[in-house]
Chain A
């Protein structure tokens, strides 16, 4: 494969290939370096090794069905991608999401954001040699994933946020597990601050390396923690507030020099702010309208009874449908028959429920946004995750485009490492948090 760098290289320089499978566990990016000893004269970044055809695949799936593909975009913070996609569709449909569902979405987004920053900094620190930091942060991440798993059923790719709300209400013992996750994360963050903040080796590897000026960052289209590390306080949660972020108090940490160390510090401080938001969500979560969810008759008995007379509503659902009982439905999902699945009690016992359940999934029916196009973005772990959807009135999107926040970050890498040493590539690349699921789509 001939590439530009091979054609332009000087005859006496060394071409080094940091190939698509390399230990800096960020996936599959190929960085080709033209070296003079250890100094980088020129470089070229090649992407596309994880191009999975997300946009074309989504044109062949219904709006509901393609939710699973959005999880796997930024796979370290999957719930944020879910929120972005779902809110774009809700913008087109004009749905009103109930307040409890909005708070739950914010809670899950912030937990995902913490998990994203933990993973990014853990990998960056490990590649600089601080293996302990990696193990500590993975430990904290497990507690967060326990919380997510108890409510959504899966640790990572959850598909939990649905059009119109969320799939199920929080578990009954969520307070205890969220408090534990917050406690453990705070402990880990304190330890990591102690290990890395004033560490001479870490400072030598990250201070004044990979610096970006403000104007250049805007010209490159940077958003998210990388832009904030240059000093510009642009955060979509404050600039274009969505969900309930305008009611929550949090700060936007910024850096000064836009180097690797500032990106590290901005992410660490953002995790503190996210923990603040999580605590506020726990305090302000509107009460669940179901008085108690236990009790009720078994489904088989309910079906038998419904054959002869009108059914009772307190039917105990199977364990993996807990949290989605009819009593809590108005807290977690919008009140719109065509965009939202009917409650399982209705679907199993009434004919109208069955028909609307069936029509939701039938090809040609189901969610059909009006003709037109829209763009909506949320603040992801890396920056502005935007969805641009063109709909022609059918049940499949005509065009779905993702605005990947890490594409401009990686595009700037060639400029940032020019003239530096080979060893500087690693923390620079690590601090940008390149998630290829998002970049390559």
Chain B
């Protein structure tokens, strides 16, 4: 079948780099080590796979597990109408990941969002600053150890 073919091809080309490949609930997923990201993404962008669009990139904080963070990328092939999920783990003591901004332009803001919410630094990002929160905000809100209601007001509040 078309979908399984991509997973098989990837496993054949990068036998030691694809740590896991599965299709939970029908979504193709591969787990790769952090260092192999750019290589595999380059391979996937070329024909015949043509995963030309980066739909989304986000992060999950698995508190209590090492490695703690997990980056999740969703790619889309427009012509074949195929989606693929790439996951890679990021350890808490080495929060650096290669940036995808040279390849896809929307990675710029998406990585800024992940930096803002989780604190992961992207190597090669042209302008890594907070996107949603303001200067002077301390901490990274979406981490599991940031309390939900801890407010840091910018101006002194009445009452």
B27 within 8 A of A: yes
Is B106 in contact with A220, judged by CB distance below 8 angstroms? yes
Given contacts A218-B52, A240-B81, A390-B60, contact A1 B109 (CB under 8 A): no
Chain B residues in 8 Å Cβ range of A388: 56, 58, 72, 74
Q: Who on chain A is nearest to B81 by CB?
A: A239
Q: Which of B60, B83, B105 contacts A220 (CB under 8 A)?
A: B105
Bound complex: CA of A219 vs CA of B117, how far in Å? 24
The stretch among A267-275, A342-350, A370-378 that forms the contact with chain B is A370-378
A440 within 8 A of B: yes
Q: Which of A2, A56, A60, A240 contacts B142 (CB under 8 A)?
A: A56
Q: Which of B78, B110, B142 contacts A407 (CB under 8 A)?
A: B110
Bound complex: CA of A220 vs CA of B52, how far in Å? 10
Given contacts A374-B25, A388-B72, contact A401 B106 (CB under 8 A): no
Bound complex: CA of A388 vs CA of B117, how far in Å? 16
Q: Which of A4, A372, A407 contacts B24 (CB under 8 A)?
A: A372
A364 within 8 A of B: no
Chain B residues in 8 Å Cβ range of A232: 78
Q: Which of B105, B109, B142 contacts A55 (CB under 8 A)?
A: B142
Chain B residues in 8 Å Cβ range of A231: none
Chain B residues in 8 Å Cβ range of A221: 53-55, 104-106
Chain B residues in 8 Å Cβ range of A399: 60-61
Given contacts A57-B148, A221-B55, A239-B81, contact A1 B25 (CB under 8 A): no
B85 within 8 A of A: yes
Interface residues of A (CB under 8 A from B): 1-2, 4, 47-48, 51, 53, 55-57, 60, 91-92, 216, 218-221, 232, 234, 239-240, 372-375, 384, 386, 388, 390, 398-399, 401, 403, 407-408, 411-412, 440
Given contacts A218-B78, A240-B81, A386-B55, contact A398 B60 (CB under 8 A): yes
Is B24 in contact with A48, judged by CB distance below 8 angstroms? no
Bound complex: CA of A407 vs CA of B55, how far in Å? 11
Given contacts A388-B58, A407-B106, A412-B105, contact A51 B133 (CB under 8 A): yes
Bound complex: CA of A115 vs CA of B141, how far in Å? 34
Interface code B44-75, partner A: CB below 8 Å = 1, 0 otherwise?
00000000111110101100000000001010
Is A372 in contact with B56, judged by CB distance below 8 angstroms? no
Bound complex: CA of A388 vs CA of B83, how far in Å? 13
Is B133 in contact with A234, judged by CB distance below 8 angstroms? no
